[in-house]
Chain A
Amino acid sequence: MRQPQTAPRFPTARRTRCALRGGVILGATALALTACGSGFDDGPAAGDDAGDFTSGADPLTVLIGSSGDSETAAVEDAVAAWSEESGLEASVQIANDLTQQLSQGFASGDPADLFYLSTDAIAGYAANGSLQPYGDHLENRDDFYPSLVENFTVEDQFHCAPKDFSTLALIINDTLWSDAGLTDDDVPATWEELAGVAEQLTTEDQVGLTFSPEYQRLGVFMAQAGGALVEDGAAVADSAENVEALEYVQEQLDAGSFAFSSDIGAGWGGEAFGTEDAAMVIEGNWITGALANDFPDLDYTVAELPGGPAGPGTLQFTNCWGMAADSPNQEAALDLVEHLTSTEQQLEFSERFGPMPSVESAAAQWSEENPELTAFLDGAEYAQFPPHQAGAADVIADLNSQLEDLDSADAESLLDSVQANLEPITE
């Protein structure tokens, strides 16, 4: 039902994929445990010295969790182009359930060579030695945004190349905006202004602003108040700034000018926005593709999120190209990653399925090609990342389950429980 924790994909696509899968738990566990296709050998140990890459003539497998046909086709084309150039066979596999399939691959000792890897999974896989860190060997290493590199750095090792990234912005329905008598000058820059326009936009049929009830959206208010969940490796969830942020949201929820997308019958913010049940939504880059598919006639504007007491703030999401420690052909895989993260290739990916290139050298051309979306890229300057420590995903899942009840919850005790859960994993 809900969007994946941090992976910024189209939730609708995710739901369909989920619908295709089912299973019995013991069966699934048993399969994972017995899926040791290549015997019970442990494979080559992950070299601590990232210098020794394996090489050979083995074909490469790339495992991706695709948001839809356009992403699948774009990645397949790019890999095929590399394959032709290098003369090495490479195939793309589409995962129904990426996390589960990755886990099965690592357990069997025969994982895909390259795969999408999310920030909340990297710490766990790095800890058990499933990943081959290769970041520092990339030719275009210094071209990646430093904040993205930081996300994929575990124990001082830059593990994998960020494949792209997205930020959250404020998406405004142009028609409803002008119907309410608002102009371009009224785009909110502060919390007060946001509350004001949201109230003005709220009618019997629609709410002013919507977002899904999860940290991956509400976190922007924490960032704007100057808070965060983890700062410099320490848990700071119970800060006064975070309390202020949640109380601000509570006030607006109470007033009825903000509403959770789930409370107005939508699976995610983009759906509520598309059906015009909400005039504004906080969403990321992926919303543009979803709106173009499902609601092509909707006119909208992408604006930067308003600043809070501590200035502007938003959240960033990214995935990287993970490389398996058990891959028999890591040198070729590294070459493929360089191809996939090259400036031209990333610009093409962006054009075909939406996310922003993870390299600075593509920024200028990207802004030029997407003048109406620059707010997303501007947000990158001050964006925060969700915590990526091992176990952080569970803490955030627990926080999200509490945020669903935010309207009746006590912000302070809610954040206290998050702090208690975060402390053991940040120590």
Chain B
Amino acid sequence: MHISDGVLPTAVALGTSAVSAGFLLWSLRRTPADDLPKVAVLTSAFFVASLIHLPFGPTSVHLLIPGLVGALLGPSAFLAIALGLVLQCLLFQFGGLTALGANLLLMGLPALLAGLVFYHFKGRSKKQRILVGALCGGGATIFSALLLALLLASGGEDFIGVAKLALLAHIPVVLVEAGVSAMVVSFLLKVKPELLDIPFVLKEKM
């Protein structure tokens, strides 16, 4: 779920924009210059993956994949998510122009955290990697939903009901996200396991 224009108080919109700009510059600096075009190309792939809708009972949910982006890109994940969200805002109006900073925080921070968790706890065995992948996928979505609810509630006490509804709406997303993340990790382990070994952009350095 992306926050549209006109929902957040102006102070929150400006504040979150400033904070995300800081994270974005940090992420840009952590990405080796040679790898920047690669991150950009991968961003397009993540963007396309996020357009996939999965049925869940009577409704359908679309993939968010912040957990996977974090696991695959490490510190560059924030940059990739920023590019993706700017494109979504420019192309579809998913997420407003003034809420771009807020949307970036609520998708980018979970991705960074998922990347960190995956990097440290992925272990050696296949089973553990799949499990940690699922946890990262589901956990990042929960974190993102909590941030969304928090940002919505920043509008004042009137918005608490909406924030709760947004939180509830994420329950199916968390389940699907965890499942798909596990499947993608298990697929990558079979087909191209080196992608999961070290964050992609640091590959040549190590």
Do these two chains really belong together in a complex?
A: no
